[in-house]
Structure 1
Amino acid sequence: MTAPAGGPVTGARRQRLSAAAREGVAGWLFVAPVVVILGLFMLLPILMALWVSLTEWNGQGSPFRAGVPFVGLDNYARLFTEESLARQDFMTSIRNNFYYVLIVVPAQTVLALGLAVIVNSRLLKGRTFFRAAFFFPSVTSSVAISVVFLFMFANSGAVSGLLNLFGIDGPQWFSDSRGTLHLLLGALGLVDPDAPPAALTDGGPFGLSWWEWLSGPSVAMTTIIMLVVWTTSGTFMLMFLAALQDIPVTLEEASRLDGAGRWQTFRHVTLPLLKPTLFLVLTLGTIATWQVFDQVYVMSQGDPAKTTLTPAYLSYKTAFRNFDYGPGTAISFVLFVIIVVLALVQRWVLRDRDAVPRPGRRTRRGKA
C-alpha cells in the first residue's frame, strides 16, 4: 500500500511551519520585557498626555476624572486661528526657534565635519589631545557652561572687555532684543530699524507682522546660538570621525592617481560616502534644536521681550507655571509634529537616488 502523493512533503512543511512558529514565539518572549517597559513608560504616558491636550486640566487631581472639562481641539485651534496672546506667544516662539535651527544646524554640521577632517589627518601631531579638547564641551554640563557664558557675556564680562580693547562698544548681550537682520539692514542703510516700512508692519500671518517675522534672531538669541554650536559640535565630530576612518584609504589614493586634488577628492569621493552619517547628524541636530530648553531656562527664560522664547520652554511655562496643562501639552504635540515632518523632509532630500529604480529600467538578471 503506497503513501498518498505529497504526504511526506506535507509533513515536512508542517515541521517547518511549527519550527518557524516556535522561533516566532521565542522571539516575542525575548522582546516582551522591552515592549512592556516601552509601553508602560513611553507609549502610555504619550497617550495620557494626548488626552490632557484635549482638556482644560489645571493640575488639580486626576486629569481622567469626570469633572475635567473636555474641549477637544480648541487648545490647538487657539495656537493657530484665535486672536489671542497665546497664539502670539506661540508664533513668536516658532519664529525664534526657526532662526535658531536655521543657523545652528548648518553651523554645527560644518564645524563638526571640519574638525573631524582635521583630527583625521595623518599629518596632525597630538591627534588624541585635539579629539579630547574638541569633545570636552559636549560632555560638560550644559547648565554649568550656560552659567559661564552668562559671566563671559555680562555687561562687564570678558567678551565686552575684549571688544573695548579694540574700541568696540559691544551690545548688552542678554538684554538686547533687537533682531540681527534688522541691525544688518540698518547698518547697510536700507531700512531704519526705528521706523520700518508700513507695508511690513501693517499685516502678517498668524498674528505677527512681516517685520517681526523678518527680524532674524535677536542679539540675545545669537549668544545662545554661539554657545550651542560650540558645545554640540564635539559629539557630531566623533560621528564624522568614525565615518571618515571607515572609508578605505585606497579610494582616496586612487582618486589622487587619477589627478584629483584634495578638494575634488573630498567632494566626489569622501562626501558621498559620508551621506548616511550626514543624514544622521542633520536629523539629530534638527531634533535637538527644536527641543532646546535648558540653555533658555538658565540664561534668559524667554527674555528679553520674548526674543529667546522657544516652543519647548513655552510649553513648560504654560503648563507648570501658568497651570494651563491642556494648552501646554498641545504645544508639545505641535512641536512633535514639526520635528517628525522635518525629519521626513530631510530623509527625502538626502535619500539615495541611485537606489531608486528608474522608469523602464530592467532589473532582472540577464536583462539589464
Structure 2
Amino acid sequence: MRRRRAGLPARRGHLRDDVTGWLFAAPVVVILGVFLLLPILMAMWVSLTSWNGQGSPFKGGVPFVGLDNYSRLFTRDDLARQDFMTSIRNNVYYVAIVVPLQTVLALGLALVVNSRLLKGRSFFRSAFFFPSVTSSVAVSVVFLFIFGNSGALAQLLGFFGVKGPEWFSDSRGVLHLLLGVDTPPAALADHGVFGLSWWEWLSGPSVAMCAIIALVVWTTSGTFMLMFLAALQDIPVTLEEAAMLDGAGRRQRFRYVTLPMLRPTMFLVLTLGLIGTWQVFDQIYVMSQGAPAKTTLTPAFLSYRTAFRDFDYGAGTAISFVLFLIIVLLTLFQRRVMRERRG
C-alpha cells in the first residue's frame, strides 16, 4: 500500500507534465491542422472529382471520378498523358543536371571562401550568396533579357557578324543538336513508353531548358555554399593536422578526412536540391511557360496550367499528388543509398 501511495503522486506529476506540454503545443497543432493538414485532405478529395472551379467541390453536383484523374496520366493514350510524360522527361533532365552541378559548385565555393589564404573572405561570401537572396522573378527577367531571341547576347553576337542562336525557339534537344541528327531512326521513333517514343525520351534538354538550368545553378549554389561552409568550420583542426603528420597530401586529406565529415551536410544538400528541382515553377512561369514546343514544361507548371487555365482542378490536383509521391520516393531512395554508403 505504501508503494502504491508513493507512486501515485509521481504518476500525477507525469500526467500534469503531459497536459502542460500539450497545452503549450496545442496552438501549433491547431495551426498546422487547419492550414496544412486540412487543405491537403481537401485537395485530395478534389483530385478524386472533376471539379471545374465553379461552386464548392464539397457539395452535391460535382461528379466523383475516383482514381480516373490518376489513371489517365499513365494508361490513357491522349494529350493529358503525353503532356504529363513530357513534363516528367523535362524534369528528369533538369534534376539530373542541376543537382550535381549546384552541389559541386557549392562545395567548391565553400572550400574557396574557407581558405585562410584568401583575402577578403567576407566579401566573397556575400558576393557568392547574393544571387540566392535575389528575387527569382527578377533574375529570371534579367536572364530572359540576356538569352532571348532578340536579347543582349544575340545583339552582341550580331554586332560581330555572328547570327545568335534562337534560345527560346529551338525545340530540339541538345543531344540531338550535338549529334547533328534531326531525323529519328525507325527503331527509336516507333517504340517507347508512356506515350513518348525513345527518340523523345533521349532528346536531352532543349537550349531554353539549359538556359534555365544555368540560372537555377547560379542562384541556388550560394545557399548550399553556406551549409557546406558551416560544416567545414565544424571539422576539428586536429584531424587535418593528424593527417598531415601521417604524410597525407591535400587531395588525400580532402578525400579521406573532409568528405567523410561532410556526409550529413551532403545528404541535406542533395535532399533539398532534389525537392527544389522537382518543384521548379517560378522560373518556368516567367521565362518560357513550357515553350518551345513544351520542352520546358514541368509537372509543377503543368499542374498549375491544368487547374487554373484549363479549369480542370481534379486533374491538376492529381498531378500535384503524383509529383509529391515522386519526391517522397526519391528522397527515401537517396536516404537509403547514402545510409548504406555510411555503413
* TM-score after normalising by structure 2: 0.97
Unaligned 5+ runs, structure 2: none
**Residue of structure 1 aligned with 2:263, choices 237, 259, 275:** 275
- 1:313-352 Cα offsets, whole Å, 9 max, x none, are 0000000000000000000000000000011011101116
Residues 343/167 of structure 1: CA separation in 2 closer, same or farther (3 Å cut): farther
Letter in 2 for 1:120: N
Q: How many residue pairs get matched?
A: 343
Secondary structure of 1:174 counterpart: coil
2:278 corresponds to which residue? Answer: 290
- 1:159 deviation in Å? 2.8
2:94 matched residue in structure 1: 100
Preserved CA contact (<8 Å) 2:176 2:182: no
**Secondary structure, aligned partner of 1:173:** coil
Q: Give the structure 1 partner of residue 224 of structure 2.
A: 236
**Structure 2 equivalent of residue 208 of structure 1:** 196
Q: CA deviation at 1:155?
A: 3.0
Match of 2:128 in 1: 134
Q: Indicate the residue corresponding to 1:48 in structure 2.
A: 42
Cα-to-partner distance string for 1:163-211 (whole Å, 9 max, x where unaligned): 568876442111111101111222xxxxxx2222100000110000000
Aligned residue in 2 for 1:197: 185
Q: Aligned to 2:194, what secondary structure does the other structure show? A: helix
CA contact (8 A) 2:169 2:292 kept: yes
Partner of 1:265: 253
Spell out the pairing of 1:349-368 with structure 2 (5 A cutoff).
349-351=337-339
SS in structure 2 opposite 1:217?
A: coil
Counterparts of 1:1-368 in structure 2, within 5 Å, are 7-161=1-155, 169-186=163-180, 193-351=181-339
CA contact (8 A) 2:72 2:81 kept: yes
Distance in 2 between residues matched to 1:316 and 1:354, nearest whole Å: 39
In the TM superposition, what is the alpha-carbon distance from 1:127 to its structure 2 partner?
A: 0.3
Structure 2: distance between partners of 1:69 and 1:335: 24
SS in 2 for 1:304: coil
Q: CA RMSD in A?
A: 1.5
Query: Could you tell me which amino acid in structure 1 is paired with residue 331 of structure 2?
Result: A
Deviates most, 20-29 or 302-311: 20-29
Secondary structure of 1:79's counterpart equals: coil
**Which stretch shifts more, 11-20 or 225-234?**
11-20
Further displaced range: 173-182 or 287-296: 173-182
> Structure 1 length normalisation: TM-score?
0.90
Letter in structure 2 aligned against 1:143 = V
* Other structure's SS at 1:331 match: helix
User: How big is each residue's C-alpha offset from its partner over 1:73-116, in whole Å with a ceiling of 9 and x where there is no partner?
Assistant: 00001100001100000000000000000000000000000000
Report percent identity of matched pairs: 77
Q: Structure 1 pair 261/159, CA: closer, same or farther in 2 (3 Å)?
A: farther
Quote the residue 1:363 is aligned against: none
Q: Displacement, 1:21? A: 1.5
